[in-house]
Structure 1
Amino acid sequence: MTAADTTAGTASLPREQSTPDDRAVEQRLSQILELCRTGRPEEAEGPYREMLGTPPRDAAGLLSLAEAARILGRPVETVAWAEAAVRLQPDRAEGWSVLAFAFIAAGRPDDGYAAAAETLRRAGAAGGTAAIQAHRAQALARLRRGQLAEAAAACEEALRLAGTVAQPAQGLRQAQAETLGTLALVRTLEGRAEEAEALFQRALSHRPLLPEILGNHASLLARLGRDEEALEQAEQAVALRPRLAGTLHLIGTLHHRAGQPESAIAAFHRVLAVDPGHLDARLRLADSLRVAGHWEEAAVVCHDGLARIANPDDPGRTALLANLGAALQTGGDAAGALEAYREALRLAPDLPEVHNNLARLHQETGNPDAAIEALRHATNGRTADMPLPLRRALLSLLIAAGRTAEAEAEAFGIARTAPEDAELCFGIAALFLQGGRRDQALPYVRKAIRLAPDVPRNWIALVEALRDATLPEQADGADEGLRADLLTALGRPEVEGAGLSRAIAGVLMASPILRHLAALPEDEGPALDEASRTLLADGSLAGLAEDALLLAHLRAAPVCDPALERAVTRLRRVLLLALTGPGLPDRPAWRALCAAIAEQCFLNEYVFAETDGEFQVLAVLVRTAEAALDRNEQPPAVLVALLGAYRPLYHWERATALQALSWPEEIAQLLDRQVTEPLNEAAIQAELPALTPIDNPVSVGVRAQYEENPYPRWMSTGLLPEPVPLPRFLHALFPYATLPASPAWDAPGWEAPEVLVAGCGTGREAVWAASTLKNAKVLAVDLSRRSLAYATRQSRRMGLTGIEFAQADLLELGALGRRFDVVHSVGVLHHMEDPMAGLRVLRRLMRPHGVMEVGFYSAAARRPILAARQFIAERGHPPTLEGIRHVRRDILALPEGHPARAVVRSPDFYGTSACRDLLMHVHELHVTLPWLAGALDTLGLEFLGFRLADPAVAALYRKRFPEDPAMTSLPRWDRLEAEHPMIFGGLYQTWVRVRE
């Protein structure tokens, strides 16, 4: 209830014959009231205080002083002046009416009701304005007691009396408007919003500038979700009456709700200036300050509030302690936050928010087991009685801590009461993923997507559930829902399309046409040509030209399935051969299909096999296109798309002529991809700075490889919608890690974290760092200028401005004279002549509080790679495009049991540069976990944990070594890898920090 609820109206008592001194007092009173009523209470304060020494001697003057005190927010003084007026003229009904409102404003509704009754007795049968105001005062008294029906009846009686007056005076019309506003407030509290709105409109039509009614109407608008209108009305109210604490509080709440904490802070400060004891405003102020990053000020506000509460058991202390804990926790004062939370729980043991914050505090300080117990303590161990949000939090903690059995019991316990809860479905899916049961996770992931399609983590979980999945073949068109989910996923920014390649292939290969294409012979011959033309003529391929999932996959990520690759390779040939016959109709669907194949081939760098017949037809098509351009004619769009499916268009000397023409959307997109972007990269190469020399012979050789074959050529990186502070990111990876309290990377005023990506390649890791770690400033260096140009162009396309790309040799980075909060170097050190020398350089680049992620090839997991490399060496294939095509053909022809054929499961097998990086690198070394443990010990680095590609590996470790829930024992990991050689997927991705 706002200050509007105690409006008394203007006193109208007749004055006795006045003296010159009395007239001076009247003038000062008139001045004070004018300042108060025109929204200038600060200017009225001085004259009002002067008046206190020589108050009026008549009842009318005392009531005017009471009116001023009310507007100035002095309820105790309002009562005192009104009582003085009643003592002077006890028979005047108007005085008792003013006193009734004064009592109610001062929080004395019973006294106010009694004074209103006395007003009615004094008014007698004549009624008039005093009687109407008395009924309204009784309504407000009833309202304070929660007696809504009685309050409404009192308002209606007041309105009935007002309606009996034929020609109401100004004071009576104002009383009528105020009564309509009070009844509107009653209807609002009754939930009868439409009636309330109509009553407010009537009240404001009588008196449009009554601040109390404007303020209460704003409250109704806010309840109805009409926040912009509510804020406009509330601002208008406080412009007229700046000390309406309730309306100021509403303004602050509206700003807070709109994500404008600084404006909310200003409003809540104004509330406390009027009413320092306004607890809710103090709590909201502390919360807004914390959200805005001013956690120290938030703590001061809470301490000040606690100092104002004398009773140690006052419930207000609990709320202030909870907010104090949240402020201190935000600022990194874990000990202070813990003390505040414990005191709050001593006063009120069953506060879910405090238990949740306490759990988060334990989690942030590397004690997930204590976090779990904090949540369970909220209901004395009866988790079934816990509110659903806390049960979800408990489930997340149990999953993160690897307490699988408890997590499973909790998950299915929640499912019995909330089967349609998206967060629960995600939690159950995460649980199954952690246990390696991806097939069981998938239905829950898809249900979570159905319930909450805009939540990024649900789509990330879909990728995890389908990663490397080989779906069983189904009838064509089966599970259209999964098709739709996969198509949507490819368009989501948080989804890395390559992770879905196998699953998409499984869905697409349900098509009989694609299976038929995959089964066509590879060799050339008239029979194959005739079969190809038949497929085109009988309409069998029309469905592929309109298959949205196929087209999206070809554009977004390399095909990583041998059968689908064969099908698309044969499809490309069928479409090419069609142009030597009657011709492929230049319809939008065919253009789109040919352009998508061209984008796929550009993405995999033309790794698909070609025949001599295709080469000959391609030469004819090139001459046809050139002849059309020579005649100032536009070549057929399908022809341009097919040319791009065999050779990158920017290699063709007539590419710029193609750009000057007007093309359908899919061809324009293809030209942008195959001409504009490569030419931009060439320009970027010339601009890139070189920070260090590159003289080491191995570095020179590695640079040469990546200048020829930049790796990887990527389209999407799986970006989160909002960056997170580094501590939160690390806690998600390593819940048992105790991270240093300083610096707080996300604390306001702290310099943004400096990140070094040493060996950034084509920029995926740099983009990841800039978009994942909050406020990160990234320096990304690499040997290859061509790779760096690709990285720069991609980061610009994504609008990332916090990355600096430069050419440098990791071995020379010490000369920069810089230190970093985060050092990232994955997949780099094992390509150096001496990985330990590189690791020493990186160690010197870390700040004392810094962390580092390094990645090394695992000797155990790379055994299939070594077998493939030996197989390639025996055949003498060179690391050229044709050589790589032959390598892939030979490996695909190996029997399933051959050790080298296992590389077919790697996504890197399906692109030219990627395959060279995987199987034909100019220099690479492999390490073991004992070597890694020794290297970290030598350099004074502490092992935080591995970033694991498969969450099931963590569950495997904890099951094998339950005594080490933090999973920080490298000797135990070595034993586990000996039992399961492929658990690291070929790469140790290791996070470390400087040992304290």
Structure 2
Amino acid sequence: MTTDTATETTSLPPGQGAPERQALDQQVMEQRLSKLLELCRAGRPEEAEAPYRDLCAAPPRDADGLLSLAEAARILARPADSVAWAEAAVRSQPDRAEGWSVLALAFIAAGRSDDGYAAAAEALRRTGNGAADETAAIQAATQAHRAQALARLRLGQLAEAAAACDAALRLADGAAQPTRSLRQAQAETLGTLALVRMLEGRPDEAEALFRRALSHRPILPEILGNHASLLARLGRDEEALEQAEQAVALRPRLAGTLHLIGTLHHRAGQPESAIAAFHRVLAVDPGHLDARLRLADSLRVAGHWEEAAGVCRDGLARIANPDDPNRTPLLANLGAALQSSGDTAGALDAYREALRLSPDLPEVHNNLARLHQETGNPDAAIEELRRATAGRPANQPLPLPLRRALLSLLVAAGRTAEAEAEAFGIARTAPEDAELCFDIAALFLQGGWRDQALPYVRKAIRLAPDVPRNWIAFAETLRDADLPGQPGGADQGLRADLLAALGRPEVEGAGLSRAIAGVLTGSPVFAHLAALPEESGPALDDVSRALLADGSLAGLAEDALLLAHLRTAAVCDPTLERALTRLRRVLLLALTGPGLPDRPAWRTLCAAIAEQCFLNEYVFAETDGEFQVLAVLLRAAEAVLAGGEQPPAVLVALLGAYRPLYRWERAAALQSMSWPEEIARLLNRQVAEPLAEAAIQGELPELTPISHPVSVGVRAQYEENPYPRWMTTGLLPEPVPLSRFLHTLFPHAALPASPAWDAPGWEAPEVLVAGCGTGREAVWAASTLKNAKVLAVDLSRRSLAYATRQSRRLGLNNVEFAQADLLELGTLGRRFDVVHSVGVLHHMEDPMAGLRVLRGLLRPHGVMEVGFYSAAARRPIQAARAFIAERGHPPTLDGIRHVRRDILALPDGHPARAVARSPDFYGTSACRDLLMHVHELHVTLPWLAGALETLGLEFLGFRLADPAVAALYRKRFPEDPAMTSLARWDRLEAEHPMIFGGLYQAWVRVRA
């Protein structure tokens, strides 16, 4: 006897007999049942357990008491007990409808829908029997109809379930004096009808019915839980979770609602909370298969692989029949947990047993394929997915994610023909799906198959022209690509795409220069121009005037792609450069004769050429004849200005095509005049911007002294030739958190080892760009990393002024530029989350000393990107430097022009001729940086590995310009999916010396 029951015992007065004692016992029983139900309904099942067990040992004998005990058992999640007590009540009073109704609900809670429907029918047949009054009879009938509705609902008969609910509600609405119990029955029926409407896909009606049901008091937890399910279906997860938590607070053993809570936490990326919820489900119902599977999945996501495997094994132990299909999902989840933990053999056994029970399991085939791939057997992975396809009906192809996985494997394995066929098959199933086309293109790009990627990425652009990643992929597909010239030019669609790409902020126009050159040089007029002789003379004068007179050049003046390219990026093709050099000369000679025609078309073309020449810093060759004509032209312009008149616009454009206008003493006078749009643009580029940079130089702070001899020499070079002169750089539409950026770059890396990963500093990282040059990397960091605060330093004030002006033009206010020597940065007393120093350390006397300084500037949880010249990939540069030294060319504009002329004249097989492939060959400062630098060193990967070891730095991976290099590494070394072995990279570079394009760009962090 519990303490609570003892307090309910009352002693009989002397002389009282058996009838009185029976009445008193009945009163005590009713009190005990009432207290039990109160504890159950108040959500206190633990406190209810002991009273319930005591009552089970000495149960009531009357039907009402047995029905109360059945209700308590249902709330305590004991469906079998609930059925037993309800059956006892029916045996005690078989004609009473209420007993049959309670039995029907008990059957349904126990999963016996057919028995529940039969019991509900019996309740309706006996409606009125044993009822104290008409209201009680209506209540019994209402519950019976609701039980029928629930039974129909469990059987998927939604229309019949709705009809039964309607019948129950009509009865309840017709009651003259509804009792509290009847109102509760009405609320429960409204909740059941709401559930039916939800399953019928009528959410608005379901929402209204749930609201009506919940307006009754007390609120019923089952209805709260079902309403939470509706909210979750509507994507209102926060509201759903709140409702579900309210429901289980009232009734902690609502397994379905607990399962929903776990699902919502899992969906929100909160695996630990999901795990707790699913454990509660299994505590109530150990046989709840879906909760067990979700629990295993959440444990696996949280990294608790052994526990996940244990949950699956426990579920399998509960299923005695080895051929029971319910074992299949448990085996699949067991395999996934074992695979994550590295137990390859165990995972294989689990997957094979799952496939024995259910051969058509795409997810298991996919996991098996990944397992084969992870263990270095890509061919077996492909065959596994092929097996998943075999035997499937033609109208049921492999699910799209698995087809993409197969395509990815085929690309990685280099099986081009099969990959193309698979990609075509995938695209054919969804011809208007831009995301699918992008995914296919991305896979081909990962394999280095740009030709195969191009049609898909162009289709993605046509379907979704405003999606930035489509344009990024387009630029990547054509980056530094050679498109063979086509008679009459390339197709207009490709021209239009290239032109549009040049106007996109996320596209770096320089990367498209070679592809655009391939399109433009297919034009016969460019072939004609390129074939013109180098030297001027009377014959060339006549040819020049003839070309203008017969309209041969008119198309160039109206070629939007040509004009956009000239204005935005340096030409990086020798044929196109030669044609443009001749075109500049033709325009100079033809347009400076008598009358000096100032037609808009020629003016536009001359201005665009002038912008190109300013961009490449006048690297185009000049002849003596041009120099003489230019001198005459300059005197004519000065005479016009001296007379107070405005010179012809085309004359200004021609002058700007040969000399930077800001160096002309008449530049200020030109700015004060009114000009056509293209000349105003040219004057802004060649006068206003350089003058603004000159003013900025005087404003820049100096953080450290610059006294090291090598630093002084490097500074002098970049004061003369700031590098690079960039116009556009790929800007993402939205910055990304540092953590996401690094996880995207290195998905296999366990980032980070330190708990500081989630600290506030990572939400607003402090970034140092050490050796920022003209600011491209600083702009990248400031615009790419969310909330970044960037300090960018360099030796050259002229480079820093260019960087500052460009960052202001882009509206960036989170980057600070200053002059400093990297070797002295340790005196700043600052630490950074990210340090970026690419293309800098190899210009120092001792790169290791510079790397040690940068290591000291890194916070304990920080990361660093460093870039060094590769000794293997720089062999053509070394050959070119030796070639230049033999001829004694100085690092001046004329010297650089002569260097380029001599190298382009070399035969293709000459080791120095390869440098003409570099984009840096096509600009004055860029060419000096590439071939005539004042000081540079080269390193090897073993050297880099030793340096990182010495400084306690861990290699995270390379940032690779070409994704095909990663595919090459994975194919060569499948046992290293993280690609973090510098020894293996060294072997790969020995086999393919140019894979790094001349520069190692390595991300590292402090070793844990």
| Same-fold call, TM cutoff 0.5 | yes
Q: Which amino acid aligns with 1:109?
A: S
Change over 3 Å in CA distance of 1:617–1:236 after alignment to 2:
farther
Q: Per-residue deviation at 1:743?
A: 2.8
Is the CA contact (8 Å cut-off) linking 1:487 and 1:548 kept in structure 2? yes
Choose which of 546, 551, 569 in structure 2 pairs with 1:557. 569
Where do residues 562-601 of structure 1 align in structure 2 (5 Å cutoff)? 562-565=574-577, 570=583, 583=598, 600-601=612-613
Q: Which residue of 1 aligns with 2:140?
A: 130
Q: Which residue of 2 aligns with 1:193?
A: 201
Task: Output the TM-score relative to the length of structure 1.
Answer: 0.69
Q: Give CA-to-partner distance per residue, 1:570-629, whole Å, 9 cap, x none.
A: 4799599699856556xxx9999788666645543454567555577678779999999x
1:918 maps to 2:925: no
Distance 1:855 1:827 in 2: 6
Q: Which residue of 1 aligns with 2:3?
A: none
Q: Per-residue deviation at 1:861?
A: 5.0
How many equivalent pairs are there? 938
Q: Which residue of 1 aligns with 2:10?
A: none
Q: Which amino acid aligns with 1:227?
A: G
Choose which of 120, 123, 128 in structure 2 pairs with 1:119. 123
Q: Give CA-to-partner distance per residue, 1:7-33, whole Å, 9 cap, x none.
A: xxxxxxxxxxx9999999999999999
Choose which of 673, 690, 703 in structure 2 pairs with 1:690. 703
Is the CA contact (8 Å cut-off) linking 1:383 and 1:391 kept in structure 2? no
Q: Which amino acid aligns with 2:927?
A: C
1:879 maps to 2:892: yes
Distance 1:930 1:234 in 2: 55
Change over 3 Å in CA distance of 1:889–1:348 after alignment to 2:
same
Q: Which amino acid aligns with 2:127?
A: A
Q: Which amino acid aligns with 1:856?
A: Y
Q: Which amino acid aligns with 2:924?
A: T
**Partner-residue secondary structure (3-state), 1:123:** coil
Higher mean C-alpha deviation, range 655-664 or range 105-114: 655-664
Distance 1:473 1:551 in 2: 18
Where do residues 326-341 of structure 1 align in structure 2 (5 Å cutoff)? 335=341
Q: Give CA-to-partner distance per residue, 1:76-103, whole Å, 9 cap, x none.
A: 7876886787677654423432442344
Change over 3 Å in CA distance of 1:74–1:668 after alignment to 2:
farther
Q: Which residue of 2 aligns with 1:743?
A: 753
Where do residues 745-784 of structure 1 align in structure 2 (5 Å cutoff)? 759-764=771-776, 782-784=794-796
Choose which of 311, 324, 328 in structure 1 pairs with 2:318. 311
**Partner-residue secondary structure (3-state), 1:855:** strand
Higher mean C-alpha deviation, range 486-495 or range 281-290: 281-290
Q: Which residue of 2 aligns with 1:348?
A: 354
**Partner-residue secondary structure (3-state), 2:729:** coil
Change over 3 Å in CA distance of 1:595–1:94 after alignment to 2:
farther
Q: Per-residue deviation at 1:137?
A: 1.2
1:466 maps to 2:478: yes
Where do residues 123-162 of structure 1 align in structure 2 (5 Å cutoff)? 123=127, 128-148=138-158, 151=161, 154-155=164-165
1:856 maps to 2:869: yes
Where do residues 383-422 of structure 1 align in structure 2 (5 Å cutoff)? 388-393=400-405, 395-397=407-409, 399-400=411-412, 403-405=413-415, 409=418, 412=421, 419=428
Distance 1:49 1:61 in 2: 17
C-alpha RMSD over aligned residues: 6.9
Where do residues 611-626 of structure 1 align in structure 2 (5 Å cutoff)? 611-612=626-627, 613=629
Distance 1:201 1:740 in 2: 48
1:507 maps to 2:519: yes
Q: Per-residue deviation at 1:269?
A: 8.0
Higher mean C-alpha deviation, range 899-908 or range 966-975: 966-975
Q: Which amino acid aligns with 1:142?
A: R
Task: Output the TM-score relative to the length of structure 2.
Answer: 0.68
Q: Which residue of 1 aligns with 2:729?
A: 716
Change over 3 Å in CA distance of 1:519–1:380 after alignment to 2:
closer
**Partner-residue secondary structure (3-state), 2:376:** helix
**Partner-residue secondary structure (3-state), 2:513:** helix
Higher mean C-alpha deviation, range 24-33 or range 718-727: 24-33
Q: Give CA-to-partner distance per residue, 1:499-548, whole Å, 9 cap, x none.
A: 22111122233456666776778778999899989988998878666655
Q: Which amino acid aligns with 2:511?
A: G
Is the CA contact (8 Å cut-off) linking 1:725 and 1:774 kept in structure 2? no
Q: Which amino acid aligns with 1:117?
A: A
Q: Which amino acid aligns with 2:493?
A: G
Is the CA contact (8 Å cut-off) linking 1:930 and 1:974 kept in structure 2? no
Question: Which structure has the bigger radius of gyration?
Answer: 2
Identify the structure with bigger relative contact order (alpha carbons < 8 Å, sequence gap 6+).
1
Is the CA contact (8 Å cut-off) linking 2:411 and 2:443 kept in structure 1? yes
Distance 2:925 2:955 in 1: 33
Change over 3 Å in CA distance of 1:376–1:510 after alignment to 2:
closer
Is the CA contact (8 Å cut-off) linking 1:792 and 1:805 kept in structure 2? yes
**Partner-residue secondary structure (3-state), 2:869:** strand
Q: Which residue of 1 aligns with 2:17?
A: none
Where do residues 147-226 of structure 1 align in structure 2 (5 Å cutoff)? 147-148=157-158, 151=161, 154-155=164-165, 182=192, 185-186=195-196, 189=199, 193=201, 219=229, 226=234
Is the CA contact (8 Å cut-off) linking 1:252 and 1:267 kept in structure 2? yes
Distance 1:302 1:955 in 2: 33
Distance 2:759 2:607 in 1: 50
Q: Per-residue deviation at 1:705?
A: 0.9
Q: Per-residue deviation at 1:703?
A: 1.8
Q: Which residue of 1 aligns with 2:8?
A: none
Change over 3 Å in CA distance of 1:920–1:640 after alignment to 2:
same
Q: Which residue of 2 aligns with 1:227?
A: 235
- Structure 1: 5+ residue runs without aligned partners? 1-17
Distance 1:799 1:361 in 2: 48
Distance 1:516 1:289 in 2: 70
Higher mean C-alpha deviation, range 456-465 or range 796-805: 796-805
Change over 3 Å in CA distance of 1:974–1:173 after alignment to 2:
closer
Distance 1:506 1:66 in 2: 84
Is the CA contact (8 Å cut-off) linking 1:188 and 1:220 kept in structure 2? yes
Is the CA contact (8 Å cut-off) linking 2:191 and 2:213 kept in structure 1? no
Q: Which amino acid aligns with 1:135?
A: H
Q: Which amino acid aligns with 1:348?
A: A
Q: Per-residue deviation at 1:482?
A: 1.8
Q: Which residue of 2 aligns with 1:907?
A: 919
Q: Give CA-to-partner distance per residue, 1:650-703, whole Å, 9 cap, x none.
A: 999988997999998996899599757984796588555636x54332222012
1:481 maps to 2:493: yes
Q: Per-residue deviation at 1:919?
A: 2.8
Q: Which amino acid aligns with 2:498?
A: L
Q: Give CA-to-partner distance per residue, 1:153-196, whole Å, 9 cap, x none.
A: 65576578789x6989688898678657645644654xx535x7
Choose which of 103, 108, 130 in structure 2 pairs with 1:104. 108
Q: Which residue of 2 aligns with 1:700?
A: 712
Q: Per-residue deviation at 1:914?
A: 0.6
Is the CA contact (8 Å cut-off) linking 2:544 and 2:587 kept in structure 1? yes
Choose which of 82, 93, 98 in structure 1 pairs with 2:97. 93
Change over 3 Å in CA distance of 1:404–1:773 after alignment to 2:
farther
